[in-house]
């Protein structure tokens, strides 16, 4: 289990159940890359999205009965959480194909080992497993919401891909993109968990808003780490966004501060390692990383306010703990 859950032992224990469901769901001897795809799914990701399904469910009356030992509802929620993680990893596999990324979660990417066609099909296979779990365990409403998310992430990915190497994205455009690619699934995970556990509409909407803000802060911190972390800690190459021609918040802010120095380094052709190193240093020296961190903190503050309105319960304690840890994480 990822160390990020050390301060949330109840969620860590529930995620172990989710991982067992994932392993069972991917044990298909008829699928040629089942073992390799299963390895990626179980390779130590943060499991944030399934955890948010579990946390969201903790606000519903059905899940509170788990404390008395009646776990039938919990098993249903765990399967839905597994469906969300499969959906997420499927999108990562396709993302790696688009970005031609060499490493994912510390292991070689599927497209690098087995080719683009097989990697795309592996992602499609995970989508199929995700929708099968959702069909078996989730309500029609939640299943439709997960299906709509796939369309939304495709739209966000296309918009991002069309702007590669133009380095012309505005701050507003960047925030719109990460809202569709990252924040939407954080928000949906909390919403689906609460809805499936029969939480009230007002509570479910509050969780949806908190999830959006947590997701926005998470992605901004992720983009900061691409400028200041290291490959071993991050478990993927540093500077990869630049290599793929993506303009994220640190560079957007740095261009406002040091545009005259940075613009000559940015071309529409792929950037070599030496140029990427120069850009990484220039962005760090500009103070843009600290400014980006403050913007992430502002989204976290918004999430804190939403969470503060939620009823006191263990699920709220877990949500507070993970919200705080995501803002200060190093990987």
What local confidence, expressed as pLDDT, does residue 229 receive?
A: 76
CA angle 116, 119, 124 (to 5 degrees): 125
What local confidence, expressed as pLDDT, does residue 100 receive?
A: 81
CATH of domain 3-327: 1.10.600.10
The percent of residues above 70 in pLDDT, for the chain, comes to: 93
Overall average pLDDT of the 1-14 stretch = 87
pLDDT tens per residue across span 173-187? 999 999 998 999 999
Overall average pLDDT of the 317-328 stretch = 94
**Could you tell me the pLDDT band of residue 233, with boundaries at 50, 70 and 90?**
low
Asked whether the predicted pLDDT for residue 72 surpasses 50, the reply is: no
Q: Which residue has the higher pLDDT, 69 or 319?
A: 319
Distance CA 45, CA 87 (A): 14
What local confidence, expressed as pLDDT, does residue 98 receive?
A: 87
User: What own/partner pairs with CB < 8 Å and gap ≥ 24 does 143-148 have?
Assistant: 145/188, 145/191, 145/192, 146/83, 146/84, 146/87, 146/188, 146/192
What local confidence, expressed as pLDDT, does residue 101 receive?
A: 83
Domain limits, the chain: 3-327
């Amino acid at each position: 289990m990822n160390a990020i859950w050390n301060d949330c032992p109840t969620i860590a224990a529930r995620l172990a159940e989710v991982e067992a469901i994932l392993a069972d769901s991917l044990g298909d001897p008829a699928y040629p890359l089942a073992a390799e795809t299963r390895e990626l799914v179980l390779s130590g990701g943060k499991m944030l999205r399934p955890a948010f399904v579990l946390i969201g469910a903790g606000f519903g009356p059905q899940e509170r009965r788990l404390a008395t030992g009646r776990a039938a509802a919990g098993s249903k929620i765990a399967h839905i959480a597994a469906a969300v993680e499969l959906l997420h990893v499927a999108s990562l596999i396709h993302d790696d194909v688009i970005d031609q990324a060499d490493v994912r979660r510390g292991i070689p990417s599927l497209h690098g080992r087995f080719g683009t066609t097989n990697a795309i099909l592996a992602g499609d296979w995970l989508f199929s497993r995700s929708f099968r779990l959702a069909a078996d365990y989730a309500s029609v409403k939640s299943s439709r919401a997960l299906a709509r998310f796939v369309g939304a992430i495709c739209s966000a990915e296309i918009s991002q891909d069309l702007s590669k190497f133009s380095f012309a994205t505005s701050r507003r455009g960047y925030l719109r993109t990460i809202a569709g690619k990252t924040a939407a699934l954080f928000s949906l995970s909390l919403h689906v968990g609460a809805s499936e556990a029969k939480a009230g509409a007002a509570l479910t909407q509050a969780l949806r808003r908190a999830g959006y803000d947590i997701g926005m802060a998470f992605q901004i911190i992720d983009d900061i780490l691409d400028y200041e972390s290291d490959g071993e800690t991050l478990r993927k190459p540093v500077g990869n966004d630049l290599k793929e021609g993506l303009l994220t918040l640190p560079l957007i802010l740095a261009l406002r501060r040091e545009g005259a120095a940075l613009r000559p380094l940015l071309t529409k052709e792929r950037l070599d390692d030496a140029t990427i190193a120069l850009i990484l240093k220039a962005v760090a020296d500009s103070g843009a990383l600290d400014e980006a961190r403050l913007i992430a903190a502002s989204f976290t503050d918004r999430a804190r306010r939403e969470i503060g309105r939620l009823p006191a319960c263990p699920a709220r304690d877990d949500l507070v703990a993970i919200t705080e840890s995501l803002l200060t994480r190093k990987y």
